[in-house]
A = this chain, B = another copy of it.
Amino acid sequence: MPDPRRITSADVARRAGVSRATVSYVLNATPGQSISPATRDRVLQAAAGLGYAPSAAARTLRTGRSDVVLCLIPDWPIGNEMGNTLGNLSTALAREGLTFLAHPGSRDDRPIAEVWKAITPAAVLSFTDFSDDETEAMRAAGVALVVALLGRAGRHGRELEVPQTLIGRRQADHLSRTGHQRLGYAYPDDPRLQIFAEPRLAGARALAEPVVRTVPLDAARAAEAVAGWRADGVTGICAYNDEVALAVLAGARTLGLTTPADLAVIGVDDIPAARLAVPPLTTVTTDQGLLAAHLATTIVAAVGGRPAPSLSADELIRVVVRESG
């Protein structure tokens, strides 16, 4: 027998000897309603006793808005670091009564409109920008916050932007301080990463005039790039991330170069492999816990109609100095 009748608020009401309205008021702590502590307790008892869980569908249907925070995951590798952040974000939101749900898959497979129209989420997070029409449609449909984690500055939702620019800047800064005049930028091979790579590169450009070369994740082909940089007189490389940095290291090695004497390298992310590299990789990390907390606060504020808090990006990004640069 498939459906032993779901427990509804009516069941709770009956057991507590009150009306369904009262149950609703108690469970939602509806403001502007004064419920006597006695009934309140009785309702809570009954609900707990029955193992009652409200139907999200019914509530959403009624209120026109769900408690879901929908996060659109792009089809490119988002990395363990970001995955970690999403986990933290999820727990932080749960504490606020919001359900974090991630939907992976490129926009082509399923029009994103289909997804959010179906879910009617309280907020939608995305890594990439939405078109203005899309944003407009979502807001019109009652989505409280529509925000792109990356995307051009100055747009709505800019508050949440992970300061990618700062990452590149920190890399260049570190290399400059350690005496490197001519810098190179190791750009990722995967075109899907461009959205991250561009702002990072821009950050490095703000401090230096790096020679940009694309570095595939392959020792032999990375070696070609490294040879090119050497010919240019480049002595320090800002890599898009740790994996690209590892490729640069491998390329330098096949050329018989010594790191960091001949070529210094700095990555991004501090993946486990970074500290195990030869030599151990200097890199830039983001404080994922802090980032998640800030995202959560912003979302909760927006859903509640309050203004977003601000976060000093400086404390978010840190250089981990090891031996490669």
* A residues lining the B interface (CB < 8 Å): 1-4, 6, 51, 53-58, 60-61, 64, 66, 73, 75, 77-80, 83-84, 86-87, 90-91, 94-95, 99-106, 109-110, 113-115, 117-120, 140-142, 217-219, 242-243, 246-247, 249-250, 253, 271-273, 275-278, 280
Contact = CB atoms under 8 A, between A and B. Distances in A.
Contacts of A101: 101-103
Contacts of A80: 77, 79-80
Given A94-B110, A246-B276, A120 B57 contact: yes
Given A2-B142, A4-B140, A73 B87 contact: yes
A272 B246 contact: yes
A243 B100 CA distance: 29
Contact of A6 (B53, B141, B278, B280): B141
Contacts of A278: 250, 253, 278
A102 B102 contact: yes
A115 to B, nearest CB: 7
Residue with the highest number of chain B CB atoms closer than 10 Å, among A51, A66, A91, A101: A101
* A-B CB proximity, top 4 nearest: A53-B117, A56-B118, A273-B273, A57-B60
Given A53-B117, A102-B104, A64 B3 contact: yes
Nearest to A245: B276
A188 B35 CA distance: 54
A2 B117 contact: no
A3 to B, nearest CB: 5
Contacts of A58: 57, 61
Contacts of A91: 105-106, 109-110
30 contacts: A2-B142, A3-B141, A3-B142, A6-B64, A53-B114, A53-B118, A55-B61, A55-B117, A56-B57, A56-B119, A56-B120, A57-B58, A57-B61, A57-B120, A58-B61, A86-B104, A87-B105, A90-B109, A99-B103, A101-B101, A102-B102, A218-B276, A219-B275, A242-B273, A246-B273, A247-B276, A249-B276, A250-B276, A250-B278, A273-B273
A100 B56 CA distance: 17
Given A114-B53, A140-B3, A272 B104 contact: no
Nearest to A105: B90
A72 to B, nearest CB: 11
A94 B109 contact: yes
Contacts of A103: 90, 99-102
Contacts of A106: 91
